[in-house]
Amino acid sequence: MAPGAAERFLPRLLPFQGVDVMTSPKSGPPKALLIGVVTVLVGGAVAGAFFLGRRSGQSGDGGGTVTNLLGGERKGPPSAGAGVEGMPEPAMTALEVPGTAAPSALWVDVHHPGKVRDALAANVWLRDQLQKPLGQGFIGAWAAFFGSTGEDLQAGFKGAVLDLFAGQLLDAPFRVTWFAGDARSSTPAFILPKPGRAATSAYEALDGVASRGGMTAPHCPGGGSEGTFEMKRWLVAEQTLWAGRLKDRLVLARHPVAVLHGLCAELPALKAKDGVDVELGYDAEAYGREVQLLSSVVGLAPGTRLQFGVEAGRLVGRGIAGELLDGPARLDAAPLSDDLLKLVPEDTPVLLAFQLKLPESLDPETLKAYWEKGGGKGPTRTRQVALVWTPRGDAKLPVELAVLWGRTDDAAALEGLFSGGYNRLVRGTHCNHVVLASNDAELERLRKACAGQQPNMLNAAGPVVAGLRAPTSVAFGVNTGRLLSGLTMDGYLSEFRVSRNAPMPSAAPPEIEAARSDLESLPYLGLRGTVQGDSLVPGGFGS
**DSSP sequence for 189-218:** EEEEES--HHHHHHHHHHHHHHEEEEEEEE
CB burial of residue 475 (10 Å; 0-12, 13-18, 19+): buried
- Maximal C-alpha separation, the chain: 78
Phi–psi pair at 504, nearest 5 degrees: -65, 130
Q: Using alpha carbons, select from 509, 462, 437, 387 the residue that is nearest to residue 34.
A: 387
pLDDT (0 to 100) of residue 414: 84
Q: Using alpha carbons, select from 38, 14, 20 the residue that is nearest to residue 525.
A: 38
Q: Using alpha carbons, select from 245, 285, 284 the residue that is nearest to residue 263.
A: 245
CB-based contacts of 327: which residues, under 8 Å, 6+ apart? 299, 374, 375
pLDDT (0 to 100) of residue 387: 93
Q: What is the DSSP letter of 168?
A: I
SS3 assignment for 357-399? EEECCCCHHHHHHHHHCCCCCCCEEEEEEEEEECCCCCCCCCC
pLDDT (0 to 100) of residue 4: 41
- Tens of pLDDT along 26-49? 444 444 444 444 444 434 433 343
- Alpha-carbon distance 436 to 94, whole Å? 53
pLDDT (0 to 100) of residue 497: 63
Q: Using alpha carbons, select from 156, 154, 152 the residue that is nearest to residue 62.
A: 152
Q: What is the DSSP letter of 173?
A: -
CB 232 within 8 A of CB 242: yes
For residue 493, the SS3 value is helix
Helix axes 510-519, 480-494, angle to 10 degrees: 160
For residue 515, the SS3 value is helix
Per-residue confidence in pLDDT tens, the chain, 543 aa: 433 433 333 333 333 233 333 343 444 444 444 444 444 443 443 334 333 333 333 333 333 333 444 344 444 433 344 344 445 567 889 898 888 888 888 899 999 988 888 888 788 888 888 778 777 777 776 777 887 888 888 888 888 887 788 778 888 899 999 998 776 667 889 999 988 888 888 889 888 888 899 999 999 998 877 778 999 999 888 888 999 999 889 999 999 999 999 999 888 888 888 889 999 998 888 877 777 788 888 888 888 999 999 988 888 999 999 998 887 788 999 999 999 999 999 999 999 999 999 888 888 888 777 776 665 567 888 999 999 999 888 878 888 999 999 999 988 888 877 766 556 789 999 999 999 999 999 999 999 999 999 999 999 999 999 999 999 999 999 999 999 888 888 888 887 665 556 666 677 788 888 888 888 989 999 999 999 988 999 999 988
pLDDT (0 to 100) of residue 18: 31
- Alpha-carbon distance 233 to 244, whole Å? 9
pLDDT (0 to 100) of residue 74: 40
Taken in order 113, 240, 136, 348, the sign of the CA dihedral is positive
pLDDT (0 to 100) of residue 398: 83
User: ∠ CA 319-165-143 to the nearest 5 degrees?
Assistant: 95
pLDDT (0 to 100) of residue 263: 93
- Tens of pLDDT along 140-159? 767 778 878 888 888 888 88
For residue 67, the SS3 value is strand
- Alpha-carbon distance 212 to 88, whole Å? 9
Whole-model pTM above 0.75?
Answer: yes
- Alpha-carbon distance 296 to 316, whole Å? 28
